[in-house]
Structures are given as structure tokens and as C-alpha cells.
Structure 1
Amino acid sequence: MAYDLSKGAPAPKPEAQFFKGYVATVTLHPDRADIKRKLMGKVSGAKDSVIPLGAVIKVQSKAPTRLVNGYVQLATEEDRGQLRIATAEAQKAIANNSRTVLFTWNQRETYAAYRQRLPLESKPKAAIRSDERRDDVGQPVGRPRALDGISPTRAGPVGMMLTMDGSVWVGLAGTLVGTTIGGGLSIWASVGTQNRQMKAARELRFEEKSEASANDAITQLYVIRQRARDFPQDHGGWDAWQRELARLAAEMEPAVLRLRDDELRGRIEEVLGYMDMIYELTDYRVHGGSLMLPSEVSRYGLDCLGAAVRDRPLPAASSAILKAREIDAFVVDQTRMSRQEGER
């Protein structure tokens, strides 16, 4: 968006800003905040809400930590009772409030940006002094002075200028300079805000696509796990069973490539790699192999994807994945030894 920076041009109007919290997204407009929640975010009773900023009586917030989620609540008259009671029940009520957005530790920067853009609480106005400073002739400082018995208000613009005190001229000059500088800074601040909003919107779209890819991967890996549990009862169907698992794993690879987190993507690729080792996982019982091991390895992959979608830390390696790694290392050693013997 291009801005008109010419003299006298109006400052750009602020546009909506997007902030993604935990299972909720808030769109901050100049006059209202629009909170949308996912289905999981409505389980506790919170709903989608539109909050006029003029109705906000207090902004309550708590920064997220590694152990506890943070929040920002736009409290209105409906929340006045909670503002008077600081108990654990009140904190729980805030978290389940429709005007509250939660933020995880990984979303702490989004929390800070959202909190900074919210209007601050109103401050009391300074009291107006009843006494005024006067000059050596008893005239109030800063007010037009009578010139040769002529009322300044009747002398016209020239008379007003002639009767103005020197401090008034200084004040006018300062006001003019301040207005010019303030207008320029306001325009550049608006440009910076626009750039940040565009970046936040792109980031939001990217996260939504990554989350959709994770959901697709969960669905496909669940199918692989179900098929891995349905192993054939006779050896005649084993070749077809192994080929089908390898085919399902190959079809899942495009969804894995779209996963945003590198560590998560590496773990799922490891799980899919073991689907090409079905014979080894089920036959090498000395190293922990069993008929259920392919299904248990797939279950570990589902646990990793589920943690990522819920914005939780990835789980530690399960016993099944450790057994699969041991079998894989044994196969690599056997292949290396066979190659060395063949070279002799």
C-alpha cells in the first residue's frame, strides 16, 4: 500500500492487526477486538466475541512462562466482579472468559505485541490552577494586551499580533514545529505498523497451512498404524502387507515435507523409514522385534504430531522407537560386515 507523504495529506488509517494465541485468534480494529476460537477453545465455555474498545474498563494480562500460559483479558462491566477478587477461582474464570486470549511460552512475542497495541488505562487529568502568572503591568502572561486603549479583540489580526506577548510567539513556534514533526512521525509510524501487520498476516497464513499439513499427516499415519496392526496370519500375505505399508509411507511424504518444525519433520521421517523394514522389525526378536513393533513405532509418530498440533513439547523417544533404532543399527553392521567379507 502506497502512502501520500505530501504536505497536508491525512495520515493513513490504521488497519486491522492479527494476533494468534492458543486455540484463538484476535483481530484488533481501531474500535473493537474480534476474537475467534477453534472448536477446542470453546470446550471450557468461552465463545467467539466482539468487544468494543470503548467498553473496556481494564486490560488484565499475565506474561506466559515455560510452565504456565499467559493471557490478555479485555475486561468490561460484565467482569467487574472478577476484578475485585484475586483468587485461584478468579484466575480460572479469567482463563475461561470469552474476552480472554491465552498465549503459550512459544507465543510470548505475539503476547507482547498484542499487549502493546491495546489502549492503556485512562489517566486522571491534571488539575487546572486557579492562579495565573501576570507580567509587570498586571496583564495575564500569554493573553493579548490592550494597545493604546484599543481592545485587542477589536483591533483585528494585526492588533492581535502587536499585542501578543513574546512567550506566546515562542509557544506558537514550538507548536508549529511540534505539529510538523509529530505529523511526519505519525506517518512513518503508520508505515511501520502496516509492515508489521502484513508480516503478522503472512505468518498467520503460514501457520494455518502448517497446521493443516500436520492434521493431514495425522490422518495418514493413523491409517498406517491401523494397517500395521492388521498383520497377516500366514506367511503367504506378508509380501503384500509389507509393500502396502511402504506405499502408504511414500504417499505420506508430501505432507511431511510441509511440516514447519525441523525436529518434528525429522522424527516423522524416521518413523516412515522404518516402514521399509517391516521384516526386520518383526523378525529380529533378539533385538526387541515383534509383530506389534511396527504399530508401536507408528504410535510414537502420532504422539509427536499430536503434541505439535496442541503446541506442546515433543515427547521423548519411546521404547518402540529405541528398539527400532537398535534393529536398524544391527542391520547396518551386518551389511558392512558382509561387504567387507565380499571384498576379501
Structure 2
Amino acid sequence: MEWITLLAGFVGTIVGAGASFAGTWWTQRQADTAAREQHARMQTHAAIETTVNAVLALRHHGRAFPTINNSGGSGNTEEHAWAERLPALLDGIDLATMQIRDRELRERLTEIIGFSARYEYFVSLTPNIFTPGTFHRSSTVGPLAEHAIACLGARLRDEPLPEPSATLLSVRATEQELMSEGHL
């Protein structure tokens, strides 16, 4: 009879220790998962904040586009200086965007950066298509940056991305037109 009591005590101890170990393991696993999720949220938030700052600089740059004089536009040194600074701003946004985990947001921002960067290429291929005021950096870079800010803000609020802006749709259509006509 003593063996049964001893065996029951031993089995109870093993079962209790196993349950205690499983409970501790489960709690630690949940805590590790929560910590990883919190770290990912913090990284995403930091990446979005960095991108917002870079896009705000782009928006400011877009608004600071120099007034084009009527004596040759492209020879304008202020416009040239403005254009020289644009790639650095776009590179900053591109680097910041790479850190964003949200694929849909990352792709939208990459599209905006690409259109802003390809503007000069569009104009050089087909200067007759672009009449002053129809597709110009002063009317595209700023509004594209505004749309990027709206997208970033939506994600910070855990909302879906806004519909593409009129400027983004217009630039998409222009690129499609250039492609269909064999210019790109």
C-alpha cells in the first residue's frame, strides 16, 4: 500500500512540475510575442515618422519652385538649382520608405517618388507634349508630396490608404500615354 501512495505522490509531483513548466513557458512565449509586436510597431512608427519628415521637406521644396521667367525657362539658374536638390530629397524618402513594413503604403510612396524623379525624363523625351502649366514640377511635386503625407497619416491612424489624388491619377495617365505612343 505504501508503494501506491508513494507512486501517486511521485506522479503528482511530475504532473505538477510539468504543468508549472508549461504554464511558465506559455506565459514567456506570450510575453516574447507581445514584445516583438511592440518592437515592430515602434519600428514602423519610427520609419513612418522619418518618411513624413522627408516628404514634408519635399512638399516644402515643391512649394519653393522658382518663378519661371519668360526668357528661356530652362536656362533659369534658380530652376536649375531647384532641380539639382530634388534627387537628394527623393533619395531620402526612398531610403526611409524601405523601412516601412506595410507593402501597400511602401508601393504607393515608391510610385510617387518614381513619378517625381521621372518628370525630367518625360519632358526631355516629349517636350512638345508638355506645355507650361500642364505638367510641371511646380504643379506635380507639391501635390504628390501632399498625397504621400495623406497616405502616411492614414497609416498612422490605422486607416486604409486614401484614393489616389487627382495629381497622381493625372501623372499615371500621362505616363501611360507616353508608353502607348512609344515615348517610354
The question of a shared fold, defined as TM-score above 0.5 by the shorter chain, is answered with: yes
Counterpart among 288, 303, 311 of residue 158 in structure 2: 311
Q: C-alpha distance in 2, partners of 1:269/1:284?
A: 23
Equivalent position of 1:289 in the other structure: 135
Matched, 1:247 2:88: yes
Residue identity matched to 1:219: N
Equivalent position of 1:132 in the other structure: none
Given that residues 221 and 252 in structure 1 are in contact (C-alpha distance below 8 angstroms), is that contact kept between their aligned partners in structure 2?
yes
Equivalent position of 2:32 in the other structure: 198
Equivalent position of 1:267 in the other structure: 108
- Corresponding residue SS for 2:117: coil
Q: TM-score, normalised by structure 1?
A: 0.44
Given that residues 246 and 275 in structure 1 are in contact (C-alpha distance below 8 angstroms), is that contact kept between their aligned partners in structure 2?
no
State the 1:261 CA deviation.
Answer: 0.5
Given that residues 264 and 304 in structure 1 are in contact (C-alpha distance below 8 angstroms), is that contact kept between their aligned partners in structure 2?
yes
Given that residues 224 and 298 in structure 1 are in contact (C-alpha distance below 8 angstroms), is that contact kept between their aligned partners in structure 2?
yes
Higher relative contact order (CA 8 A, sep 6+): 2
- Residues 89-120 of structure 1 deviation map (CA, whole Å, 9 limit, x = unaligned): xxxxxxxxxxxxxxxxxxxxxxxxxxxxxxxx
Given that residues 105 and 151 in structure 2 are in contact (C-alpha distance below 8 angstroms), is that contact kept between their aligned partners in structure 1?
yes
Q: C-alpha distance in 1, partners of 2:82/2:180?
A: 26
> For this pair of structures, how many residues does the alignment match?
169
- Residues 72-92 of structure 1 deviation map (CA, whole Å, 9 limit, x = unaligned): xxxxxxxxxxxxxxxxxxxxx
Q: C-alpha distance in 2, partners of 1:205/1:219?
A: 21
Q: C-alpha distance in 2, partners of 1:314/1:225?
A: 19
Given that residues 228 and 295 in structure 1 are in contact (C-alpha distance below 8 angstroms), is that contact kept between their aligned partners in structure 2?
yes
State the 1:285 CA deviation.
Answer: 5.8
- Residues 273-294 of structure 1 deviation map (CA, whole Å, 9 limit, x = unaligned): 112134458x7369x6354222
Q: C-alpha distance in 2, partners of 1:292/1:300?
A: 13
Q: TM-score, normalised by structure 2?
A: 0.77
- Corresponding residue SS for 1:323: helix
- Residues 13-48 of structure 1 deviation map (CA, whole Å, 9 limit, x = unaligned): xxxxxxxxxxxxxxxxxxxxxxxxxxxxxxxxxxxx
State the 1:174 CA deviation.
Answer: 6.1
Matched, 1:233 2:67: yes
Residue identity matched to 1:329: Q
Larger Cα Rg: Structure 1 or Structure 2?
A: 1
- Corresponding residue SS for 1:292: helix
State the 1:193 CA deviation.
Answer: 1.9
State the 1:304 CA deviation.
Answer: 0.6
5+ residue gaps, structure 1: 1-160, 162-169, 339-344
More helix by share: 2
Q: C-alpha distance in 2, partners of 1:217/1:199?
A: 27
More strand by share: 1
Equivalent position of 1:328 in the other structure: 175
Given that residues 90 and 113 in structure 2 are in contact (C-alpha distance below 8 angstroms), is that contact kept between their aligned partners in structure 1?
yes
Q: C-alpha distance in 1, partners of 2:35/2:21?
A: 21
Given that residues 242 and 276 in structure 1 are in contact (C-alpha distance below 8 angstroms), is that contact kept between their aligned partners in structure 2?
no
- Corresponding residue SS for 1:275: helix
Equivalent position of 1:13 in the other structure: none
CA RMSD between the two structures = 2.9
Given that residues 58 and 141 in structure 2 are in contact (C-alpha distance below 8 angstroms), is that contact kept between their aligned partners in structure 1?
no
Q: C-alpha distance in 1, partners of 2:19/2:131?
A: 72
State the 1:337 CA deviation.
Answer: 5.4
Identity percentage of aligned residues: 26
Aligned ranges 1:154-233 → 2 under 5 Å: 177-233=11-67
